[in-house]
Amino acid sequence: MTLVAEPIQTFDPLSVRKDFPILSTESRGKPLVYLDNGATTQKPRSVIETLQTYYEKQNANIHRGVYQLSQLATEGYEKARRVVQRFINAADPAEIIFTRGTTESINLVANSFGRAFLKQDDEIVISGLEHHSNIVPWQMICQQTGARLRVIPINDRGELQLETLSEMLSPQVKLVAITHLSNSLGTVIPLDQIIPMVHSVGAKILVDGAQWVAHAPTDVQHLGVDFYAFSGHKLFSPTGIGVLYGRREVLEKMPPYQGGGDMIEQVTFEKTTYAPLPNKFEAGTPNIAGAIGLARGIEYLQNVGLSAVRAYEKQLHRYLTDRVQDIDGIRVIGTAREKAGVVSFVVEQPSISHHDVGVMLDLEGIAVRTGHHCCQPVMDRFNIPGTVRASIALYNTRQDIDRLAEALEKIIAVARTKNRTRSGSTATTTGLQDVRFPDPEGDCPETVAEELIENFSLFDDWKDRYQLIIEMGEKLLPMPVELKNEMTRVHGCQSTVHLFARKRPGTVDSLDFLADSDAELVRGLIAILQKVFSGQSARSILAFDVNGFFRKLGLEDHLSMGRRNGLAGMVERIRSHANQILSVSG
Ligand code: 7TS
């Protein structure tokens, strides 16, 4: 698609897709379906080329060189500020502060506004929908100042309870920090109702626009916000660049957040005076290429036309919601009347952990996010550990959603068939003597490990190795429910994991263990650990090079960081039992 001066009001998603090189690549041997735009968006060719051109032809530090290159870079950076200003309709470019992203923008306000205006017993109000980055900075500043953090609750649909907000608001409230669009549930917040309420008690309002800005036009003056934060990478632009908009009158009264170069007027050892806005808040060399790339990303979106994007995505979101909720066995989490961008759900019948669904979708070339989405309080509110989340952008199509729905239907159908044939891992028992533990598979962990490595080496493709792990998990010996308690729970895993170990009867220092998880992949990993360790002597378990073994199986490269941490947690638990056995047996 070529860039045009006037926004086009209808657009063809297939033509838009051609502007994003990554969308024509494959993942796991299948055409990529990218539905994780809430985490980050893909970049159009114009943004990628802008970065390259900047580094090839314009790179220099800004605001300081007398030479032409530095002036070019400075012009590009300051032009980017004006592009952002117009994008959100700020009154003045000085109200646009470049940051690393939403997280840094919020931390800036929490620290600077907090230090200037918060005291004991003041109140900060946030909502039950917030991302951790709009919770933790406020908790930290409350601890430092003695202010209190209060939370607007959400209802079963995932909407804010505005009646409670109106009860909470009092002159003690100094700031309300709230998302514009929830990243975990897709709820759109009725800012037009909230902002006048907040201002009526003299409080300031910060809006976290991380999820919103790519989906619809934003006008900070019309909204009447005091602060508005967003990230470039969720807006078709590079990572490491973001924006804090602040009303000039408020920013003027706030002290700098960080000290350093480019934010001063004059420095002596006795006293420093600060530069005017926006430099006061931009200490050090900023992300110059990032800012220029962000301006290009915004221009791209403006050329497509945000109103057209909004209209198209509304239909697409409706289609996504309908397709997902029509699948038997799936429950959509978050059913607010006004939603955008995101559809979150759990697979309940049969119950399949969000992580397993994500891994199985990945094998079909479909990228979604799974987990708590950095919104643990939202998950707690719905009493679930996490969800599967599909989040759309302007380049997604009905075909993408059809691929997702078809893959989900297949995953559920396969799980139902397996459940019918599975012996059941929730066996109960009356005493430990009835419980079956696996017998050792070899003389020592090394021999079993070698055999496993050989089996795995028959499969080059991770997809086949993954299948092998899942099949091993299916043969796991059942762990009685009585053994699944807080004592046997292994924390630090994304899924629920229990591990019970004991000295193997009739041996000097061998270890037996049983473990189970609600996640299929983890059951497979448990089976691997069991083959290598169960029935082996504590000494040989402690001597075994487990990391080398995982590397050779290919686990290091293919497991997510969370899964690797969980696996390390299980190994740690096994090793600590081995140590205990040794200390008792002397
Ligand atoms: N606020 C919201 C509402 C977000 O969704 C995110 C990131 C942030 C703040 C933090 O943005 P950052 O750019 O500073 O990291 N949300 C997500 C997500 O939903 N999946 O990955 C990141």
* Average pLDDT score over the chain: 93
96-132 tens-digit pLDDT:
999 999 999 999 999 999 999 999 999 999 999 999 9
CB of 38 closer than 6 A to ligand 1? Answer: yes
At residue 420, does pLDDT exceed 90? no
CB of 210 closer than 6 A to ligand 1? Answer: yes
Of 133, 182, 207, the one to substitute when testing ligand 1's pocket (max ligand atoms within 8 A of C-beta) is 133
Decide if 13-31+305-419 and 45-303 have a common fold.
no
CB of 180 closer than 6 A to ligand 1? Answer: no
In angstroms, rounded to a whole number, what is the distance separating the alpha carbons of residues 411 and 469? 17
CA-based nearest residue to 84, from 247, 341, 302, 340: 302
Determine which residue's CA is closest to atom 17 belonging to ligand 1.
Answer: 39
468-522 tens-digit pLDDT:
999 999 999 999 888 888 888 998 777 889 999 988 988 889 999 999 998 889 9
348-377 tens-digit pLDDT:
999 998 988 998 999 999 999 999 999 999
Positive or negative CA dihedral for 26, 31, 35, 37?
A: positive
The residues facing 514 across adjacent strands are: 500
Tokens found for residue 543: 């001597």
Of 36, 40, 103, 389, the one to substitute when testing ligand 1's pocket (max ligand atoms within 8 A of C-beta) is 103
Q: How confident is the model at residue 32 (pLDDT cuts 50, 70, 90)?
A: very high
In angstroms, rounded to a whole number, what is the distance separating the alpha carbons of residues 98 and 105? 8
Which amino acid does the sequence have at 437?
F
- The more confidently predicted of residues 488 and 328 is 328
In angstroms, rounded to a whole number, what is the distance separating the alpha carbons of residues 441 and 370? 35
543-559 tens-digit pLDDT:
999 999 999 988 888 88
In angstroms, rounded to a whole number, what is the distance separating the alpha carbons of residues 208 and 463? 38
Tokens found for residue 283: 């200490």
CA-based nearest residue to 487, from 504, 502, 500: 500
**CATH annotation of 13-31+305-419:** 3.90.1150.10
292-301 tens-digit pLDDT:
999 999 999 9
CA-based nearest residue to 331, from 315, 359, 352: 352
Q: Where are the domains of the chain?
A: 13-31+305-419, 45-303, 425-585
In angstroms, rounded to a whole number, what is the distance separating the alpha carbons of residues 518 and 415? 13
Q: Percentage of the chain with pLDDT > 70?
A: 96
User: How many Å lie between the centroid of ligand 1 and the Cα of residue 441?
Assistant: 46
User: How many Å lie between the centroid of ligand 1 and the Cα of residue 39?
Assistant: 6
According to the model, what pLDDT value does residue 564 have?
86
For residue 181, give the ligand 1 atom closest to its CA.
Answer: 3
Of 234, 378, 379, the one to substitute when testing ligand 1's pocket (max ligand atoms within 8 A of C-beta) is 234
Determine which residue's CA is closest to atom 5 belonging to ligand 1.
Answer: 183
Q: Give 120's contacts (C-beta < 8 A, 6+ positions apart).
A: 145, 146, 147
184-225 tens-digit pLDDT:
999 999 999 999 999 999 999 999 999 999 999 999 999 999
Q: How confident is the model at residue 7 (pLDDT cuts 50, 70, 90)?
A: very low
User: How many Å lie between the centroid of ligand 1 and the Cα of residue 505?
Assistant: 51
The residues facing 243 across adjacent strands are: 98, 230
At residue 140, does pLDDT exceed 80? yes
Q: Mean pLDDT throughout 579-585?
A: 82
Catalytic choice (374, 375, 444, 493): 374
Q: How far is CA 387 from CA 183, 299, 353, 404, 498, in A?
A: 12, 34, 8, 15, 21
CB of 111 closer than 6 A to ligand 1? Answer: no
Which amino acid does the sequence have at 113?
F
For residue 101, give the ligand 1 atom closest to its CA.
Answer: 14
According to the model, what pLDDT value does residue 433 have?
66
According to the model, what pLDDT value does residue 542 have?
94
At residue 275, does pLDDT exceed 50? yes
Q: Mean pLDDT throughout 369-397?
A: 96
321-326: long-range pairs with CB below 8 Å, 24+: 323/401, 323/402, 323/404, 323/405, 324/390, 324/404, 324/405, 324/408, 326/405
Q: Mean pLDDT throughout 54-63?
A: 95
Q: Mean pLDDT throughout 276-285?
A: 96
User: How many Å lie between the centroid of ligand 1 and the Cα of residue 209?
Assistant: 10
For residue 391, give the ligand 1 atom closest to its CA.
Answer: 19
Q: How far is CA 499 from CA 483, 496, 531, 573, in A?
A: 8, 10, 14, 8
Q: What is the pTM of this model?
A: 0.81
Q: Are 242 and 211 in contact (CB under 8 A)?
A: no
According to the model, what pLDDT value does residue 89 have?
98
In angstroms, rounded to a whole number, what is the distance separating the alpha carbons of residues 586 and 405? 58
Q: How confident is the model at residue 71 (pLDDT cuts 50, 70, 90)?
A: very high
Q: Any idea which fold 425-585 has? A: Sufe protein. Chain: A (3.90.1010)
Q: Any idea which fold 45-303 has? A: Aspartate Aminotransferase; domain 2 (3.40.640)
Q: Give 311's contacts (C-beta < 8 A, 6+ positions apart).
A: none
Length of the chain as a residue count:
586
Q: How confident is the model at residue 87 (pLDDT cuts 50, 70, 90)?
A: very high
Positive or negative CA dihedral for 460, 462, 464, 470?
A: positive
Q: Percentage of the chain with pLDDT > 90?
A: 80
In angstroms, rounded to a whole number, what is the distance separating the alpha carbons of residues 437 and 477? 7
According to the model, what pLDDT value does residue 423 have?
47
Which amino acid does the sequence have at 406?
E
Q: How many CB atoms lie within 10 A of CB 496?
A: 16
CB of 208 closer than 6 A to ligand 1? Answer: yes
Q: How confident is the model at residue 290 (pLDDT cuts 50, 70, 90)?
A: very high
Place of tokens 């700098």: 256
375 noted as active-site residue: no
At residue 426, does pLDDT exceed 50? no
CB of 101 closer than 6 A to ligand 1? Answer: yes
User: How many Å lie between the centroid of ligand 1 and the Cα of residue 250?
Assistant: 25
According to the model, what pLDDT value does residue 210 have?
98
232-245 tens-digit pLDDT:
999 999 999 999 99
